[in-house]
Structure 1
Amino acid sequence: MELLLGLVLGVIGVIGILFLLLLSFTIYYDLSRSEIPSGFDSQLKLRVFHCSFIIVFALGKCLELLGVCRQVAFIRFVVSFRNPRVDPSLSAKDLHFDGVPVRVYQPKAPSAGLRKGFMFFHGGAGMIGSIASYQDVCCKIAKETDSVLVSVGYRLSPEHLPPAQYKDCLAATLHLIQNAASHGVDPSKIIVGGDSAGGNYAAVVAQKLVERSDLPKLRAQVLIYQTSQAMDFNLPSYQQNSSMPPLFQENVVYYVTKYIGKDPSLTGQLLKGSHVPDSMRLKYGKWVSPDNIPERFKGRGYKQVPLAPYEPEVYRQLPETLEADFSCLFADDSVIQKLPETLIVSCEYDVLRDDGLLYKKRLEDHGVKVSWFHVENGFHGVLNLFDAGLFTFPAAVELMDRIVDFVKNL
């Protein structure tokens, strides 16, 4: 008995030591690698939140090295525990739209007529995230806007490489448009939207639908701190927020390579821009130019970094990053000018801030009606923290309110 007790205590001791080592590494990593600008409120809260990210990612990497499971699988497993309850004023049905899993949120209260429809595409770099983990976001939008919201469970990379993600989003959207009435939706009042990678999918879906004269036009698109280009990763926001948690500049290019199933060793060349052919620099440079970023967004420091010399071999391995299906900013003028009314959300302390600003200017230059909301104290991923208990951020509440107001007023 004493031997068994000693063994148990020994195991507990080892676990305790490992936990302390992990915690020490996490705190060290956060303090040494991250840099939160002095103008940002709630620094301690963000650091604690970031540390939780580091722990999950570090544990996932350890399990991958031990051959237990892939890091991305562990992260998805942890994220799956975040499954908020459905608001009691809504019904939620798990269906398939043209083979794509979706969850349809619909107000239980009777409606005088057909409702607006909102196709929502979650974020997560195209590799994590799920219908369940965005349930609170989707319930809030559906309830407050009295809309039928369809959350799309598109396929994830690396099991399913792009363009599987946007194609699933497009297929589900087409299904709703073509079967709107059966879901209580007005086909002329369908909105597409999403955050981060999901915002990019929404932009691409909207672009793909502008040429479909046989279908009702989309009513609007809601693009929340979305990616829009993979040409220049040294724009002002990338430099100013290079070490701002939870999304660092180096992480963005690393995730790009992982997402498209390429060797992460290409990260350095992608960051420098050596994957961009000279012909594309001439064609797209006018849209990605820092001159298109208002001067107010350069006040926290910016030094223009020219793209590195073109390396054909690098481009040969990364051609999809410069296609419009991946970089929505690079769509043809004939497509851009037909896009629907748009809400663009940017966050001051987000590396992707300028991607949204560049897309905003491109739309406005072609006469598209754009509403823009800039979250002064926002950071990447803040939307998910609008109702997170101790980790609720006022910026997230403000952002959610603005999305709701935009949809209600369409």
Structure 2
Amino acid sequence: MFDRPQPDLYFSQDHLAFRAVLRSFVDREITPNIAAWEDAGRLPRSLYKKAGDLGVMGALYPEEVGGIGGDMFFHVVVSEEISRCGAGGVAASLGSHSIGTPPLVKLGSDALKQQYAVPVIAGDMISALAVTEPGGGSDVAALRTRAVRDGDHYVISGEKTFITSGMQADVFTVAVRTDPDQKGAGGISFILVPGDTPGLSRTPLAKMGWLASDTAHLVFDQCRVPVDNVIGAEGEGFKAAMMNFNNERLTIAIQAYSMAEVCYREALEWAQQRHAFGGPISQQQVIRHKLVDMAARIDAARSLTYDIIWRYQNKMDPLNVHVARTSMAKVTATNAMKFCADEAVQILGGMGFMRGTASERIYREVKVLTIGGGTDEVMKNLAASQLGI
């Protein structure tokens, strides 16, 4: 329904060719294995390497670190096609590098890039971002994890929670407070912490959904990390975190409307095959209206997200407008996903309540995207402040 088979304003022939390769990869390597991966509670490491070989990990990154040097619409292609499998846990774990690695590539030293960014983009290592803490989620400025300078090392103490890929990650991009005398946004830095650092412990967390994604609670108990592992300038981490969040929120919007479309397609196919009262239920007016309402919300969320990305790439909007519209896109897309998952389960009836349908899985996964990357309430407050409301 929403496929773009020809080059247009947003997608070139290169984008479309990349999409075709990824679609085949997802159909062959991912979709048939989702149930096994959900039972295992994680993705196999071999999948990261296969994805790295295709350029999945490097869509947005420059060639000097092993990326393909693509624009944001290459990232759109990756997020949309991975989401076609209908399992948010796969998209989350396979994409954990997309929030863990950008600060490193943009601000890290050449040595750090070669040591960590290159193998992550190649699929040889797994990267994760560690910002959220037990005492505060969306309020990054309130973080309490401390990194105290001790000669040529920082000693890190604190906790992080809800960390995607936290059990498997080989390296963490960790938000810490390097200046305890500063409050709020001041004194926050990003620092790379290798997964085998003494004093780092991980505990798996059980979840409602995203079962193929491992999620962990991390404890840093006097972890010693070289000073050279600081990403960018000390104390400048808050700004980098906020810019990272913008891209994360756009990614969540893409995943959300793509998952909504999975629900739409499954509900449409079911309604066309399911007969009641003398014909397919897709011919019942109430079902037709549900499907049209689903299609409209998906299209609205997708169109808004495409427009934001296109205008960003062409430097058409001031930063406050970009941040506000990105927040709006996340809310719009996750609400579309919520609506479509609910309607799809209703259309499928009893089958919608059964494990094995994509709509049932997505129905359980709706809430995490309305929370992760900033709750709906925080997004609306952020948009209001950026627009001067």
Question: Is TM more than 0.5 here?
Answer: no
TM-score (normalised: structure 1): 0.29
TM-score (normalised: structure 2): 0.30
